[in-house]
């Protein structure tokens, strides 16, 4: 195992942790736990009590620190010391959205999610710096590492857009798709830097895998549509009465559920073809097992009313399936011209 392979694998694992943390943020309704970005209520370490967000007399306020006044958020225009009475000329109303509640759990869940995101950014930065070493010997690794850095920065910016837009559905979908793109880039680097070359894969199997990836993208997009509907229900029922979330579900859900058959079918075909070709790969067994688990979590959500953790797990497994499938494809197809690094 070489260093670039280990660094890429580390980044991939951290990106999956970010996806899981994002799912937990959503399951607990913590998305607006930090109203601003990148700081949280204007602090590097967010408050632990609601009283910390009350206006205080004779207090040193730093630029961008937030207070809650009535039903609104206000942020400090500059650094200043407050006097006996509040002087509103020191404060601007926070207008990016009108969400002004404080819940310590939501704030800290969102904050930890952001910290894991920052660690992911750092690990991709380290990967990029290390990849510069291969600029002459294996340019594709350096170029893909630059791309992964751009993708994760764009993803961070999108994260800010998600918060600024008070979690509008379309930004969440783009955020999800970008996570998949980032995984594709990282898995390409992983395949290129894998020390042991696998055997050759026939073209028709590669085509089947590409079709499966396209089907998975469609499935992820329809899943995100189902999620948008569930999001509205979760809000409507204030995160309780889970049995009602799936009531009156749209046709998109029926499509999402039935479309699973297409994924099962094509992956069974890939599995059988590989078996006939006597290509031994733990990856394909892992992918099949994950598809099975994905169906199981889907069924559990539907019939057992979204038990705790089922939503983030369903989200995580979908990105694992598509990521590993892309890796499988890259492993056989990107290695052809690979040189030892």
Write each residue from 187 to 206 as x if it is in contact with ligand HEM (CB under 6 A), else as -, in one continuous string.
--------------------
Tell me how far apart the terminal alpha carbons of the chain are, to the nearest angstrom.
Answer: 10
Q: Which is nearer to ligand HEM, 69 or 169 (CB)?
A: 169
DSSP label at residue 132 = G
Phi-psi domain of 76 (left: phi exceeds 0; alpha: psi -120 through 50; beta: other) = beta
Nearest in space to 187 (alpha carbons), one of 282, 327, 320: 327
Which of the stretches 43-51, 92-100, 154-162, 298-306 binds ligand HEM when contact is defined by CB under 6 A? 298-306
- Residue with tokens 């660690």, as numbered in its chain: 119
Answer for the pair 315, 25: CB distance below 8 angstroms, yes or no: no
Nearest in space to 8 (alpha carbons), one of 101, 160, 138: 138
Distance CA 97, CA 72 (A): 10
The number of beta carbons lying within 10 Å of the beta carbon of residue 52 is: 16
**Contact call for residue 298 and ligand HEM (CB under 6 A):** yes
Q: Which is nearer to ligand HEM, 27 or 53 (CB)?
A: 27
**Contact call for residue 299 and ligand HEM (CB under 6 A):** yes
Q: Within 10-49, which residues bind ligand HEM (CB under 6 A)? A: 23
Compute the least distance from the CB of residue 232 to ligand HEM, in Å: 10
Distance CA 54, CA 28 (A): 25
Which of the stretches 123-131, 157-165, 195-203, 315-323 binds ligand HEM when contact is defined by CB under 6 A? 315-323
Compute the least distance from the CB of residue 176 to ligand HEM, in Å: 6
Record the tokens describing residue 167, joined without a space: 């979690």
**Contact call for residue 219 and ligand HEM (CB under 6 A):** yes
Compute the least distance from the CB of residue 230 to ligand HEM, in Å: 3
**Contact call for residue 142 and ligand HEM (CB under 6 A):** no
The number of beta carbons lying within 10 Å of the beta carbon of residue 216 is: 25
Q: Which is nearer to ligand HEM, 127 or 263 (CB)?
A: 263
Q: Within 243-262, which residues bind ligand HEM (CB under 6 A)? A: 256-257, 260
- Residue with tokens 């830097």, as numbered in its chain: 193
Q: Which is nearer to ligand HEM, 260 or 286 (CB)?
A: 260
Distance CA 321, CA 216 (A): 8
Residues in contact with ligand HEM, counted by CB under 6 A, come to a total of 26
Distance CA 123, CA 290 (A): 26
- Residue with tokens 């955020």, as numbered in its chain: 175
Q: Within 151-180, which residues bind ligand HEM (CB under 6 A)? A: 176
Compute the least distance from the CB of residue 303 to ligand HEM, in Å: 8
Among 106, 114, 138, 314, binds ligand HEM (CB under 6 A): 314
Answer for the pair 267, 205: CB distance below 8 angstroms, yes or no: no
**Contact call for residue 223 and ligand HEM (CB under 6 A):** yes
Residues forming contacts to ligand HEM in the complex (CB under 6 A) are 23, 176, 216, 219-220, 223-224, 226-227, 230, 256-257, 260, 263, 291, 294-295, 298-299, 301-302, 311, 314-315, 318, 321
């Amino acid at each position: 195992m070489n260093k670039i392979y280990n660094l890429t694998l580390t980044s991939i694992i951290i990106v999956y942790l970010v996806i899981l943390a994002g799912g937990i943020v959503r399951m607990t309704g913590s998305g607006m736990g930090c109203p601003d970005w990148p700081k949280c209520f204007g602090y590097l370490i967010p408050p632990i009590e609601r009283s910390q967000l009350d206006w205080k007399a004779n207090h040193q306020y730093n630029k961008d620190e937030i207070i809650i006044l009535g039903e609104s958020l206000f942020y400090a225009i500059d650094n200043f010391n407050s006097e006996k009475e509040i002087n509103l000329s020191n404060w601007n109303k926070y207008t990016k959205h009108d969400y002004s509640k404080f819940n310590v759990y939501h704030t800290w869940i969102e904050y930890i999610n952001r910290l894991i995101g920052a660690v992911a950014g750092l690990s991709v930065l380290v990967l990029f710096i290390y990849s510069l070493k291969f600029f002459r010997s294996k340019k594709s690794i350096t170029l893909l590492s630059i791309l992964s850095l751009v993708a994760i920065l764009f993803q961070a910016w999108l994260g800010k857009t998600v918060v600024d837009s008070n979690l509008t559905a379309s930004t969440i979908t783009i955020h999800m798709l970008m996570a998949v793109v980032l995984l594709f880039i990282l898995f390409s680097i992983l395949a290129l830097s894998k020390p042991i070359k696998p055997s050759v894969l026939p073209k028709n199997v590669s085509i089947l895998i590409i079709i499966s990836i396209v089907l998975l993208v469609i499935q992820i997009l329809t899943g995100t549509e189902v999620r948008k509907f569930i999001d509205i229900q979760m809000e409507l029922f204030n995160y309780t009465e889970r049995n009602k979330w799936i009531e009156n579900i749209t046709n998109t859900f029926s499509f999402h559920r039935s479309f699973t058959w297409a994924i099962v079918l094509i992956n069974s075909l890939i599995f059988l073809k590989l078996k006939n070709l006597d290509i031994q790969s733990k990856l394909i067994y892992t992918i099949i097992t994950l598809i099975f688990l994905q169906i199981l979590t889907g069924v559990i959500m539907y019939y057992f009313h979204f038990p705790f953790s089922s939503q983030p797990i369903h989200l995580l497994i979908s990105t694992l399936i598509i990521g590993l499938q892309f890796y499988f494809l890259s492993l056989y197809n990107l290695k052809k011209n690979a040189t030892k690094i």
